[in-house]
Structure 1
Amino acid sequence: MEQTSRIITAQHSRSGWINGLLGVLIFSGSLPATRVAVLEFDPVFLTVARATLAAMAGLCLLWLLKARRPTREQWAPLLIVALGVVLGFPLLTALALQSVTSAHSIVFIGLLPLATAVFGVLRGGERPRPVFWLFSILGSLLVMGYALAQGLNAAPIADLLMLLAVLACGLGYAEGGKLSRTLGGWQVICWALVVALPVVAPLTLLLAPSSFVGISLPAWFSLGYVALFSMLIGFVFWYRGLAQGGIAAVGQLQLLQPFFGLALAASLLHEQVSLGMLAVTVAVIACVAGAKKFAR
């Protein structure tokens, strides 16, 4: 009986890592796509428009699949998720990407695992081993060291916005991962989008440009990507992974996101990826391997 329980637990954890990795792969295109979109769309309009489109799709899913309504106690966590990942992170990153390249901003994503793990302890009740924190903090210090080496006087406001975005996203990830254990992964993001809809839908109409003539196909494609994939589909896998494998543990997969994101920035946007960026990314990925080992 005990052996069967261990096998089931191992399979559950492995499924969590697979779902988490799929989520990270989808999220890796978010910043490059946002960078393309803000070249032609206002960042605030982009934020509310992507949330509105995703919320409409989420409403359809909830209706078609006859999802049960959240309990009274679940609405407050859903509001936190909405503020963190539906509004906070998209808006702050869109504002930052007006001043810096997606390759530069992607490096800050290396802080997300630590932020998610901290909020996983505060909000999710998880208790990783002390060595886990050593690897997580080391990875974060590498990222911050890189940012300082670039000279924060180059774009200090953009870097501050990225740091605030990381905090908002880490809280939203941890809260959503915890809530997914009882509500379900896809239900969490869909209901969080519904919570935000009364705010983002009117703002989308209010802030819409007077004419969409001249908006390029890549900009429209980028808007569609961040709305359907970054804001909805990616979270279906991500929150399920966090619920199955643990918020702090699976959250470390985010350290792979800069690597995938840098590859996209270089291949699709033809942005320059320096040796320093690559070195920091590789070092941070090494830290996630150590953090993963001691996450539980």
Structure 2
Amino acid sequence: MSRRGWALFLAMSLVWGVPYLLIKVAVEELPPVVVVFGRCVLGAALLLPWTVARGQLGPALRRWRPLLAFTVLEMTGPWLLLAYAEQTLSSSLTGLLVAGVPFVAALVGRLTGGEDRLGRVRLLGMGLGVAGIAVLLGLDVEGIAPLPLLAVGLVVVGYATAPLIVERSLPDVPGVAASAVALTVTAAVYAPFAVPRLDEAARAPADALLAVLVLGVVCTAVALALFFALIREVGPQRALVITFLNPAVAVLLGVLLLDEPFTLGLAVGLPVVVLGCVLATRRSPVRRARAELGDVDAAVP
């Protein structure tokens, strides 16, 4: 992976390691639909004017069918399901479950004719990633109802499939434009359910409102622009390997900023996760050969 690819990869691992904690804080005081609506409105308010000013809205809307599919699989469905699940599940367990995204993405990619091979080294890397997250966070599954687990399972399917749509059906649509449209559509879908509850939301504690603000600005508007760039730099399957590091980042931030204990699980699990990510992001022989010819991963949005 190139230096640009590693820079984007590490930035995304950090930026999307935070939402699990923020969502947990927000849904303790706010309805899930309000959290998703607020996140989307804030993100759209930042990205849509930029898209219009650069004349990119029209070209994006011309690809409305794949863009709508991306919206449903990446935002409209998963974000509400994730907020619902975190009313019951811990943020760390949710992150651990979402770490299964690269496996599903690899399977979907192969079933739909993808050419990126899954060699033994990459499979080993994915296995190490999951094992490291399990050691890092532990598995606290006692008393968990099946519906939240099913909700996270659907999130995993959506997150695994959406980047493939970006790579195959939206290669000429700028990432910011696609994100702006998707956020606007998702906000419109949930507006009838969220707007009547905004008065109630306005009385929520400041930490819950701040969590939604950071979700919308940093973890949505900024993160989606970076994520599109990462997909086009390293491909959808490698881009999704960030889900191995996201939960690890959340735990590490807790140690550094919240004085949480540096446990044996953290000491052992984090290096295993990092090693797994390095192995799982290796290029296959086919992709490496094409990259050397200059016709793969050359476009930067």
Place the TM-score, normalised by the shorter chain, in its bin: 0.7 to 0.9
1:155 aligned counterpart, secondary structure: coil
Partners of 2:17 and 2:190 lie apart in 1 by 24
**Structure 1 partner of 2:176:** 186
**Structure 2 partner of 1:222:** 211
User: Against the structure 1 CA distance between its residues 107 and 129, is the aligned structure 2 distance closer, same or farther, given a 3 Å change threshold?
Assistant: closer
**Structure 2 partner of 1:3:** none
Aligned residue identity for 2:72:
L
- Of 4, 17, 30, which aligns to 1:15? 4
Matched, 1:208 2:207: no
Stretch deviating more after TM superposition (268-277 or 75-84): 268-277
Taking only aligned residues, the RMSD between alpha carbons, in angstroms, comes to 3.1
**Structure 1 partner of 2:39:** 50
Partners of 1:58 and 1:107 lie apart in 2 by 30
Map residues 118-197 of structure 1 onto 2, 5 A cutoff. 118-121=107-110, 125-135=114-124, 137-139=126-128, 142=131, 150=139, 152-157=141-146, 158-179=148-169, 181-197=171-187
Partners of 1:143 and 1:277 lie apart in 2 by 9
User: Against the structure 1 CA distance between its residues 144 and 163, is the aligned structure 2 distance closer, same or farther, given a 3 Å change threshold?
Assistant: farther
- Of 86, 93, 96, which aligns to 1:104? 93
- Does the Cα contact within 8 Å between 1:49 and 1:200 map onto a contact in 2? no
What's the CA shift string for 1:9-33, capped at 9, x where partnerless? x8xx432332233222211111111
The structure that is helix-richer by fraction is 1
Matched, 1:285 2:268: no
Partners of 1:81 and 1:273 lie apart in 2 by 39
Matched, 1:115 2:131: no
How many Å apart are 1:68 and its aligned residue?
Answer: 4.3
What's the CA shift string for 1:166-219, capped at 9, x where partnerless? 222222233234455311222221122233343133332134344622x22221
- Does the Cα contact within 8 Å between 2:82 and 2:155 map onto a contact in 1? yes
Partners of 2:100 and 2:108 lie apart in 1 by 13
Identical-pair percentage: 21
- Of 14, 24, 42, which aligns to 1:35? 24
- Does the Cα contact within 8 Å between 2:93 and 2:140 map onto a contact in 1? no
Partners of 2:201 and 2:280 lie apart in 1 by 49
- Give 5+ residue unaligned stretches, structure 2: 288-301
What's the CA shift string for 1:80-105, capped at 9, x where partnerless? 22112222222122112112222222
**Structure 2 partner of 1:241:** 230
**Structure 2 partner of 1:250:** 239
- Does the Cα contact within 8 Å between 1:255 and 1:288 map onto a contact in 2? yes
Partners of 2:90 and 2:76 lie apart in 1 by 21
What's the CA shift string for 1:269-289, capped at 9, x where partnerless? 677786446644543332222
How many Å apart are 1:267 and its aligned residue?
Answer: 4.8
- Does the Cα contact within 8 Å between 1:262 and 1:273 map onto a contact in 2? no
How many Å apart are 1:46 and its aligned residue?
Answer: 1.0
User: Would you say how many aligned residue pairs link Structure 1 and Structure 2?
Assistant: 284
1:77 aligned counterpart, secondary structure: helix
- Give 5+ residue unaligned stretches, structure 1: 1-9
